[in-house]
Structure 1
């Protein structure tokens, strides 16, 4: 009788403790990190001010041999910022899936590639087998069985590593992709990845909940965030620019994760895009000023909002025109707005032209030049000679833009990026 009473008391105590632990985990936010491709992002004071410990990078599956210098630069920047690196493998840089080329590596090729990566970058201990495996731009979109084989190889190569098994976007047949993955591996993965842009952008939860119902163990939201603007391959806007919508998406991402205790980590993507990038979910604008998304993220993390997110007025105003005297010469004029009316620095100039027949943007780096104005001559003119072929392309293009990357030395300041429209050159 005493034993039964004691057992009942212990059972009840355990049940209450379980409820308390579950309640505590449900109210806790997941571990948060940033997924961003640029090494220079980790030098930014505002990014460091977020206090996040985890950084994620997406690389080709053969990165150890195809781009080791770029990976090393990113890892060095992340280490200097005190972050722990997470590497996600995906398609080759040369792939154009679902068109060609679109290369699915064999298990032997993947095994050799990850072994080379582990040997070259032993500081990385967290991996994703394949980034966003169900997306049409990946060669494995219809072949989760291949990724299951890669997972087996990655686990065998680094049994002590933390490895995300299947990672999917919350669209299309993502649930069946994951189930086919599970059926193809003899292992029992307990860590999965999801990019829940659909849920956070449009206010749903089905994409996240369907994945949680389909897989066991923990779920990491490997990418989420506020999409400011989305363009297709031809440069047309498919999701109009809206910074308020992007800020709301950040709040939704936290609400979804906090309500689901199996979500234990979440990466916000990303710090900054370039002007005219197809996908822009940057927490800051191309000119490095903070967006409402940054303020929202800071608040969700428990920090104070910055004093202002008002864009800075650039020190320079740029204008572009074709020379009337020299047909193949492009004139780029800079007017200094600084208080002392003097501006100096370096300028990288890229011409982007939208093609008529083939669609998309063609990108050509024109030059890197120094510029200088003075108090007496506030406007500086740079003369850039272009080829006849490039001038013809600019004349026949639907749209023409100059993308400018400005590194000022006076007045001192961070790198600025801006765009300037270019008229159609005369014949």
Structure 2
């Protein structure tokens, strides 16, 4: 009996040791300014991943092309991998390119920046500031076309805000794209993060299979007061929301990446959004400390 019990204990220990641990969640920063890469506080986080949103027709505008060149080259020099997200044109804000046109532009991006292999079909596609808001069919066609154009690229199929209709939008997308279990889904779960709930994140997880990347998330420090979806905001609140983001990531092993938005506050007059990890003077905000401490703990576990 003692021998039998010892064998059972040994077997249990073996399976605990041999079972693979859940892979670490990759963390990055969503930021539009390349100055972040030379910041010692960014370097101290040792994250090496960033997200940038570029108009789909960037390479037809000299200023936008120069801006993107600077960002991607600085990121590369800093050893940072960039998730490049397509967004609406600054010249033709309501124009939706055809899948053929977007694929042509995608190939131009690939030729100019061959080291970039992570892409998003369309930034926050279900938000009605975007011309894709009611066109999940068009975004699905974009995904199929871009995936066919670069089989080795990791392409986020649909990038969605966690509103009340996220599951319905994702289902309509799948009706066109097909029920591929390998699709990568992007999620901007600001509502969940800042209201300390899980509803939107769970809705996307329920409606889909495959990996989920939090392609933009974080706690809000300052926001336009008359916004359609009111959310609390302050430096202290943003730190609590950052902690909640990690709880949202723990809902499923399918969550593979988190990109916190953003690094430094906007300097443009009348800016209506601030969820930056640093303050106006460059001092780290409480949310930066939350992120740094989480990264230290996770690396300690590994």
| TM tier relative to shorter chain | 0.7 to 0.9
* Counterpart among 284, 288, 296 of residue 302 in structure 1: 296
Distance 1:236 1:182 in 2: 28
Whether 1:73 and 2:39 are equivalent positions in the alignment is no
1:223-372 counterparts in 2 under 5 A? Answer: 223-231=216-224, 239=231, 241-275=233-267, 276-302=270-296
Whether 1:141 and 2:141 are equivalent positions in the alignment is no
8 Å CA contact retained: 1:134, 1:169: yes
Equivalent position of 2:193 in the other structure: 200
Distance 1:235 1:204 in 2: 19
8 Å CA contact retained: 1:42, 1:48: yes
The runs of 5 or more residues in structure 2 that have no matched partner are 1-7, 298-302
* Counterpart among 80, 84, 97 of residue 83 in structure 1: 80
Segment of structure 1 superposing worse, 33-42 or 64-73: 64-73
Q: How many residues align?
A: 281
8 Å CA contact retained: 2:140, 2:177: yes
Whether 1:162 and 2:159 are equivalent positions in the alignment is no
Equivalent position of 2:121 in the other structure: 129
Equivalent position of 1:220 in the other structure: 213
8 Å CA contact retained: 2:194, 2:231: no
Distance 2:187 2:119 in 1: 14
What is the alpha-carbon root mean square deviation over aligned residues?
2.5
Equivalent position of 2:34 in the other structure: 39
Greater helix proportion? 2
The runs of 5 or more residues in structure 1 that have no matched partner are 1-8, 96-100, 304-427
Kindly state the Cα deviation for residue 258 of structure 1 after the two structures are TM-superposed: 2.6
Distance 1:19 1:166 in 2: 35
Kindly state the Cα deviation for residue 259 of structure 1 after the two structures are TM-superposed: 3.7
8 Å CA contact retained: 1:64, 1:120: no
Kindly state the Cα deviation for residue 104 of structure 1 after the two structures are TM-superposed: 1.1
Equivalent position of 2:143 in the other structure: 151
Deviations 1:19-69, CA, capped at 9 Å, x for gaps: 944xx32xx641111111111121111011100021110111112223221
Greater strand proportion? 1
SS in 2 for 1:140: coil
* Structure number with bigger Rg: 1
Classify 1:172/1:94 alpha carbon distance in 2 versus 1 (closer, same or farther; 3 Å): farther
Kindly state the Cα deviation for residue 186 of structure 1 after the two structures are TM-superposed: 4.1
Classify 1:123/1:171 alpha carbon distance in 2 versus 1 (closer, same or farther; 3 Å): same
Segment of structure 1 superposing worse, 185-194 or 172-181: 185-194
Kindly state the Cα deviation for residue 190 of structure 1 after the two structures are TM-superposed: 2.2
TM-score, reference length from structure 2: 0.86
Distance 1:292 1:139 in 2: 36
Classify 1:264/1:45 alpha carbon distance in 2 versus 1 (closer, same or farther; 3 Å): same
Larger RCO: Structure 1 or Structure 2 (Cα < 8 Å, ≥ 6 residues apart)? Answer: 2
Segment of structure 1 superposing worse, 31-40 or 189-198: 189-198
Whether 1:56 and 2:51 are equivalent positions in the alignment is yes
